[in-house]
Structure 1
Amino acid sequence: MAEIDSSGGGKKGGKKRSKKMSTKIDMTPMVDLGFLLITFFMLTTTLAKPVTMQLNMPDKTEDNTQTSPVKMSETVTVVPDEFKVYYYQGIPSESATVLQVTDYSETGIRKVIADMKAKIGNNFTIVMKPTKKAKYRNVIDMIDECAITNNKRYALLEIDPDTEALIKRSGK
């Protein structure tokens, strides 16, 4: 606790001096209270739970021959790159396939996906083929765009040489 020392100075001469009182404060109870409060708040607060995205993967069975056919007219291939997104409909090896470029903004790939889904309907499928320069964040951004536009049919594949050649041919 606190205590006051009232001994003052010794007697030196004829002058009377006022006694100087020195104080000594014991900080132990204050420190104990501080640690009790810190412990209380650490144990009673709820920490932020990590937000995860559900990703449906195919079953690991021996019989992987069951595939559902997807029409090319109902599919768009999206190629995320580091700063831009390429997209096209059709087969990349055909000369009639037109490669288009957009960005990751609301008016970019989100608008493209929403427009395609409105035009095609519920059977709309997105095939994602990230480039070698694409970052992990770019792929996650594309999966987020599928979730935002409420598109549940998408696939993630490795980029093939035909798609790389289409990007080089376009010069975009």
Structure 2
Amino acid sequence: MAEISQDGGGKKGGKKRSKKASTKIDMTPMVDLGFLLITFFMLTTTLAKPVVMELNMPDKTETEEKSPVKMSETLTVIPDAEKVYYYQGLPTDATTQIQKTDYSNKGIRTILFDLKKRIGDNFTIVIKATKGAKYKNMVDLLDECVITGNKRYAILEIDPDSEALIKKSGL
């Protein structure tokens, strides 16, 4: 609490001065209250909850029935740092042409919408990221799959044939 100490001015002789009261405030209860408030707000605050993307993985058990995927119903998408390469068919075919686009809604999203509309529910996307692709690029591409309503997609490592197709195209 606060204390008031009064000194008597104790000198003999000279002018008489009025007594001055000096105040001294004990800050211990104020510090205790501060720490109690900090503790209260730390314990009652809700921290940002992590946003989780749902990703369904196949069972590890081997099944004898494998559903064949037609190459005419498959689009291979290769995300890179700034652009997205895509092609239909096998990278080893001489007729396969690779094209490039970007991550905007007028880029890869319109391509995915058009192919989904043309092919239907059997449309499959194969994602093969380059070494220059970042985590954000993969998340953006998976977001585009969700936005366009494509539920069939696979994430694979990029193969040398796809890398050669990119180099050969010069895009």
Q: Which TM-score applies when normalising by structure 1? A: 0.91
Count matched residues. Answer: 171
Which residue matches 2:14?
A: 14
Report which stretch shifted further, 112-121 or 8-17: 8-17
Shift in CA distance, 6/90, structure 1 to aligned 2, threshold 3 Å: same
Give 1:1-172 correspondences, 5 Å limit: 1-61=1-61, 63-172=62-171
Tell me by how many angstroms 1:119 deviates.
2.1
Question: In structure 1, what is the Cα distance between the partners aligned to 2:139 and 2:126?
Answer: 14
> Higher strand proportion, which one?
2
Question: In structure 1, what is the Cα distance between the partners aligned to 2:34 and 2:158?
Answer: 58
Tell me by how many angstroms 1:8 deviates.
4.5
Tell me by how many angstroms 1:64 deviates.
4.3
Q: Report the residue type matching 2:71 in the other structure.
A: M
Q: Which TM-score applies when normalising by structure 2? A: 0.91
Shift in CA distance, 65/96, structure 1 to aligned 2, threshold 3 Å: same
List per-residue Cα deviations over 1:56-89 (Å, max 9, x = no partner). 111112x244321112221110001121110011
Q: Report the residue type matching 2:123 in the other structure.
A: F
Q: Report the residue type matching 1:77 in the other structure.
A: T
Tell me by how many angstroms 1:22 deviates.
1.4
Question: In structure 2, what is the Cα distance between the partners aligned to 1:168 and 1:112?
Answer: 22
Report which stretch shifted further, 69-78 or 5-14: 5-14
Q: Which 4+ runs in 1 deviate beyond 4 A?
A: none
Tell me by how many angstroms 1:133 deviates.
1.9
Tell me by how many angstroms 1:106 deviates.
1.9
| Aligned-residue identity in percent | 73
Tell me by how many angstroms 1:140 deviates.
2.0
Question: In structure 1, what is the Cα distance between the partners aligned to 2:17 and 2:104?
Answer: 80
Q: Report the residue type matching 1:68 in the other structure.
A: S
List per-residue Cα deviations over 1:95-154 (Å, max 9, x = no partner). 221211111122221222122212222221100011122222222221122122221110
Q: Report the residue type matching 2:41 in the other structure.
A: F
Q: 1:106 aligns to what SS in structure 2?
A: coil
Shift in CA distance, 163/65, structure 1 to aligned 2, threshold 3 Å: farther
Question: In structure 1, what is the Cα distance between the partners aligned to 2:8 and 2:120?
Answer: 93
5+ residue gaps, structure 2:
none
